[in-house]
C-alpha cells in the first residue's frame, strides 16, 4: 500500500484483504499507516496458507525500496488503487 503521492510503501499480511484495506482507508488502524495516510492498494498477492503469506511478506519487507517499486510496476505500472477496481 502507499499514500496519495506514492511516497510511502507499506507491506502487510491479512486473511481478509477487503476488510484490512478498508480499515486503512477509514483510518481505523492507528500507527504507521494512519500517520502517513497509507490508503491506496497498489499491489497484492494471494496464498493458500497464512505461513506462505507471512514468509512472502518477510521477503518483500527485507528487500530494497527499489525492489518493491519494481514489483509494483510489474503488475500495476500506473499505480492505480486496486481496491477501487476490484472491491468498489
Between CA 57 and CA 59 the distance in angstroms is 5
Tell me what pLDDT residue 87 has.
73
Burial of 84: CB neighbours in 10 Å, binned 0-12, 13-18, 19+: exposed
User: What pLDDT score was predicted for residue 70?
Assistant: 98
Do the beta carbons of residue 15 and residue 51 sit within 8 Å?
Answer: no
The pLDDT, as a whole number, for residue 29 is 83
Residues of the chain with pLDDT under 70: 88
CA distances 20 to 1, 27, 54, 73, Å, are 11, 11, 15, 22
* Predicted local confidence at residue 35, as pLDDT: 93
Cβ contact 21:87 at 8 Å = yes
At residue 88, the pLDDT reads: 63
Amino acid at each position: 500500500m502507499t499514500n496519495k503521492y506514492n511516497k510511502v510503501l507499506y507491506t502487510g499480511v491479512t486473511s481478509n484483504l477487503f476488510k484490512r484495506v478498508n480499515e486503512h482507508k477509514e483510518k481505523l488502524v492507528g500507527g504507521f499507516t494512519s500517520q502517513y495516510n497509507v490508503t491506496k492498494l497498489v499491489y497484492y498477492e494471494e496464498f493458500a496458507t497464512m505461513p506462505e503469506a507471512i514468509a512472502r511478506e518477510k521477503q518483500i519487507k527485507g528487500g530494497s525500496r527499489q525492489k518493491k517499486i519494481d514489483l509494483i510496476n510489474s503488475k500495476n505500472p500506473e499505480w492505480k488503487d486496486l481496491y477501487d477496481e476490484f472491491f468498489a
